Amino acid sequence: MINEFNLVIASVGGQGGLTLSRIIAEAALSNGYSVRTGETLGMSQRFGSVLSFVRFGEDVRGPLIPFAKADVLIGLELLEALRAWKFIGPKTLVLVAKISIPPVFSSLSHIPKWSSYKYPSIDDILMNLRKRAEKAIDIDALPILRKLNNVRGLNVFMLGIFAASPRNPIPKSLYEDAIRKVIKRNIELNIKTFRIGYDIGQRLEFT
Amino acid sequence: MEVLLLPPHSKAVLMGNEAIARGAIEAGIGVATGYPGTPSSEVIMSLSRVAKELGMYVEWAVNEKVALEIALGAAFAGIRSLATMKAPGANVASDSFVSAAYSGVNGGMVILIADDPGPHTTQTEQDSRWYADLAKLPMLEPSDPQEAKDLVVKGYDLSESLKLPVILRTTTRVNHTVGDVVYGEMRRIERKPIFIKDVERYVRASMVGNLMRHKWLNNQLAKAEEEASKLGINRVEGDGNIGIITSGVSYSYVIESLKRIGKEHKVRIIKIEMSYPLPKSFLLKHLKDLEKALVVEELDPYLELKVRTLAHEEKLGVEIWGKKESGIPIEGELNPFIVMRVIAKFLDIGIVELKLEEPRTAITPRPPPMCAGCPHRFSYYALLKAIKKAGFKLEEVPIMGDIGCYALSYEPPLEAIWTEHAMGASIGLALGLKVSGLDKPVVATIGDSTFFHAGIPPLLEAVHKNLDVIIVILDNEVVAMTGHQSTPEWSVTESGRRTTPIDILSLVKGLGVRYVKVINPYNINEAIEVFTEALLMKNAGPRVIISKAPCALMVIRQGKILGPRRTIDYNKCRNCLLCIIETGCPALTTEEVFGKKRPVIVKELCVGCGHCAYVCPFNAIIEEVKKSD
């Protein structure tokens, strides 16, 4: 048993970041841990920044993770992973999907009025994440999810990757139970997506 | 299996608001009502799932004041009741709950007031704890989902023993935190509603009676601490001659911080769960032998002022550290980082200061845009075009905004609204601008639910005083911003109750408005024409335009789209990007082809509203043709 595990999920509204935090919370509870999740979201239902925290362990209290103390950061989008930089410390493992969803006005950033909306280069984002974290791994998830015809399954795919990492303290089967409990549609496809993420994760170098 | 109805001793992960709902179920309530408002909405949303099964009345009310009165009426009749609201909703309901302290209740009543330090989704960071003092109602403050559930159950017992409504004051970090919760027994309270006439108690017309009830109220409050302690409310943890006084979510940060700096159990934590009336004997007992005590709380120095007063009255030697001594901010929410630094300073422990070095890459802002296909985008787009068409400059025609998704129109590219103030205030403020003598048109824009909530009285005022304003009711047939709750226009509510739908057009006509038009915002030319007509009328009294189209997100969730998806004919497209510049639609992006940026419609995000096709000067945006095979 571990005392306190801190996980941050950074995503764009509509990507399933909050659902992912609920799945992990359910799995952690089944494993006998105490759980807290917290979230910071913008006003709109879609397309805003969403930051969720999942904490579990023997004794967890508040919903917020102290700065630099994330054990793992799961990024469902590159810019959002970078936006969560305050929570990344020298012991953090970053798992980020190589997906960029530029804010609407990023496409106009060549016009001076919109220049502050310029979307950073992917290399810049990854360099920043690598500099900060113990290890940052980017995963080219889209081609795999497209092949599975489950682009919306990015959240469970990334969960699979995390589940395969040596940092993960919860048995894989409990995540599958939790997916069945939390996700209402396309359960089998999402389980399959999770397992493919897990298989890919097993081939990654996490340290 | 419905998670809220699992048997006693079950353990489930619940959001704070779901835990409050479970607490209400365990307490055997019969009536729950409220008005949607983040972060309070999920309580009623959760209860409406089980309303039928438990035979409970669970419905949204037209506004918080009406909700409070419904809950209070039920509690008069002896039925346990719940009213929920976000902090500004408490301002709306306050007239009724201040009087409620004088009449008191027979059945237990809990009023949930959800504050939003941060703020995350609220117009102000008001600290609603002051309402307890103002109204003289007992107030409980939980720090996590488990306590939220437990304090709801205890709150009903406290309410019935004192015969007073009890305020449950939460913050976003309690309402929206998910945590493990152990369930208690579900009490079945079978009571026949009875209301016995008691003029002195319920009629606030007699001033002598009111004075007597005020004395009764103070008498009840004097018993509050004893009743609370019987229920195990307020507690002390750890020991030592140094103490920390805290409440709500700040308690969690205190515990964590002490653990992190290795002082767990070595400091006496005085956890206040009933913060009004102040549990004086409890505090005195645990304060009197302390050397110094730190108060950790979010927003105003509420506990601090009371603790200081008590220490002064009782001539205690304890040195109090409040906001000033500790540096705890009075704006924004606390977090473990702030609290740990403060506690280290208080305990005089050196900690390694964390250096937060900003990334060298600038982080692009991501303001939440209006959704693809949102009818509000069309309404404001047409209104702005009409202002120009009518010969006015955009900067001389104020557009007053109101509370709802459409307030996002302040952002580019629309940059439409000039104000967003309080529920229904768009109309009242517009009236004020007109009576001040402003000679240009003034437009108030207000959503359907906001209009029902607080827009009817100011419209009545406009009709009665014959004031020259344009009022646009943005009717998307749902409370969209807070997660799609029902409005009085619905014929069946979330709990399955059949209702009489209220028709806004008839309502407006019934109020005596002579100029009323209903438009479909997706028909942009027609919308521009009607807005222009209304803008050019002079001294015509209030003109109401109902811009009616369902929330696009609601349409999509029903598995439909608004029209044929669009695609770009790159033979005609000249890469002017006006489609993006004019609409700001999140379904549009760009790609680079031969070093030039050209627009792209993201297929999965386009809902077929056709706005981009309307603005394209080259007719390059066309309906997608379905391939035959």
Q: Are residues B314 and B389 in the same domain?
A: no
Residues B267 and B299 in one domain: yes
B144/A44 Cβ within 8 A: no
Average pLDDT over residues B570-585: 95
- The pLDDT-based confidence of B615 (bands split at 50, 70, 90) is very high
The predicted structure's pLDDT at residue A46: 72
Find out whether A169 and A3 touch, Cβ atoms under 8 Å: no
Write the residue in A12, A61, A116 that is nearest to B256 by C-beta: A61
Copy the structure tokens of residue B603.
């297929």
**Chain A residue closest in CA terms to B255:** A61
pLDDT score at A110? 86
For B499-518, write each residue's pLDDT tens digit: 999 999 999 999 999 999 99
Report the mean per-residue pLDDT for chain A.
Answer: 94
The answer, yes or no, to whether residue A107 has pLDDT greater than 90, is no
Write down the pLDDT at residue A41.
66
Query: Exposure pattern of A19-50 as b/e (b: 16+ CB <10 Å)?
Result: bbbbbbbbbbbbbebbbbbbbbbbebbbbbbb
Please compute the mean of the pLDDT values over residues A86-101 and round it to a whole number: 96
Helix axes B207-230, B280-287, angle to 10 degrees: 40
Domains of chain A, by residue range, sit at 5-202
Residue A184 banded pLDDT, cuts 50, 70, 90: confident
pLDDT at B47 > cutoff 70: yes
**pLDDT at position B54, please?**
96
Place of tokens 């009711």: B473
Helix and strand totals (H; E) in chain B: 23, 23
**Does residue B526 register a pLDDT over 90?**
yes
> How far out from the chain centre does Cα B587 lie?
28
Tell me the mean pLDDT in the region B565-579. 96
Q: Are A175 and A7 in contact (CB under 8 A)?
A: no
> What is the span of the domain harbouring residue B335?
235-347
Is residue B78 within 8 Å of B107, Cβ to Cβ?
yes
> What is the overall mean pLDDT for chain B?
96
Residue B148 contacts A, CB cutoff 8 Å: no
- Say what the pLDDT of residue B627 is: 56
CATH code of the domain in which B594 resides: 3.30.70.20
Within 8 A of A75 by CB-CB distance, chain B residues are none
Structure tokens that stand for B533 in this block = 């007509």
* Strand, coil or helix: B83: strand
Answer whether CATH 3.40.920.10 is correct for domain A5-202.
Answer: yes
Using the predicted structure, report yes or no on whether residue B255 has a pLDDT greater than 50. Answer: yes
Task: Give kind and range of the element (H or E) at residue B70.
Answer: helix B64-76
Residues B546 and B608 in one domain: no
Nearest-CA distance A81 → chain B (Å): 10
Angle at CA B521, nearest 5°, toward B517 and B522? 140
| Separation in Å, CA B122 to CA B13, B116, B126, B171, B608 | 26, 6, 9, 12, 32
- How many CA atoms, within 13 angstroms, populate the side-chain half-sphere of residue A171? 7
φ/ψ (deg, to 5) at B613: -65, -35
Mean pLDDT value of segment A94-119? 91
Chain A residues whose CB is inside 8 A of the B587 CB are none
CATH code for position B270: 3.40.50.920
Determine whether B23 is exposed, middle or buried from the number of CB atoms within 10 Å of its CB (0-12, 13-18, 19+): buried
pLDDT digits over B182-228, tens only?
999 999 888 999 999 999 999 999 999 999 999 999 999 999 999 99
Return d(Cα B350, Cα B328) in angstroms, integer: 18
Mean pLDDT over residues B271-296, rounded? 97
* Cα–Cα distance for residue pair B168/B139, rounded to 1 Å: 6
CATH code of the domain covering residue B393: 3.40.50.970
Lowest mean pLDDT among A116-125, B130-139, B397-406, B588-597: B588-597
Residue A43: per-residue pLDDT: 53
What is the average per-residue pLDDT within A73-102? 96
Q: Compute the distance between CA of residue B177 and CA of residue B20 in angstroms, rounded to an integer.
A: 12
In this prediction, residue B624 carries a pLDDT of 87
Do both B149 and B46 map to the same domain? yes
Task: Please tell me whether residues B177 and B270 are part of one structural domain.
Answer: no
* pLDDT single digits (tens) B49-88: 999 999 999 999 999 999 999 999 999 999 999 999 999 9
Model confidence band, residue A193 (pLDDT cutoffs 50, 70, 90):
very high
Tell me what the mean pLDDT of segment A10-32 comes to: 94
* B residues 431-470 lying closer than 8 A (beta carbon) to A: none
Is B302 in the same domain as B259?
yes
Asked whether residue B169 falls in the same domain as residue B87, the answer is: yes
